[in-house]
Amino acid sequence: MKSSPVNSMNGKPDPDELKELLHDDAGHGRHPGANRGIEFLYDVPLQISVEVGRSKILLRDLLKMGEGYVIELDKLAGEPLDLYVNSRLIARGEAVMVGEKFGIRLTEVVSTADRVENLG
């Protein structure tokens, strides 16, 4: 009997089993319903965020904040922005304008192997 890809001790996915599941082309009948591939996951909603930079401040400075207050971030102007999906770094890119809104043009995507490894 095959174990679940989730480690029962800490609730995190086992990276080796996740790799096996992701690289298993259609399951070859090993699991009930496995021949459908991963298409059943396509409609799962994901939270996407873009990080411009980070900073640590003191509570007293937070309480002094108002309109026009400037917070210095740890990134330099022109450095790539970090794209996170469900709090996991997925890619880096640059800010672009899409009509009246901001967007991100991806310039570097974290490899699939690195993404799977960082799941746990």
- In order along its 120 residues, the chain shows pLDDT tens digits of 445 555 545 566 677 776 666 665 544 545 555 556 788 888 999 999 999 999 999 999 999 999 999 999 999 988 999 999 999 999 999 999 999 999 999 999 998 888 777 766
Would you say the pTM of this structure is higher than 0.85?
no
My answer on whether 40 and 56 are in the same domain is: no
Q: What HEC string does the chain produce? A: CCCCCECCCCCCECHHHHHHHHHCCCHHHCCCCHHHCCHHHCCCCCCEEEECCCCCCCHHHHHHCCCCCCCCCCCCCCCCEEEEECCEEEEEEEEEEECCEEEEEEEEECCHHHHHHCCC
My answer on whether 13 and 52 are in the same domain is: no
My answer on whether 29 and 39 are in the same domain is: yes
Q: Which domain holds residue 32?
A: 1-44
My answer on whether 34 and 8 are in the same domain is: yes
My answer on whether 21 and 37 are in the same domain is: yes
My answer on whether 28 and 13 are in the same domain is: yes
My answer on whether 66 and 35 are in the same domain is: no
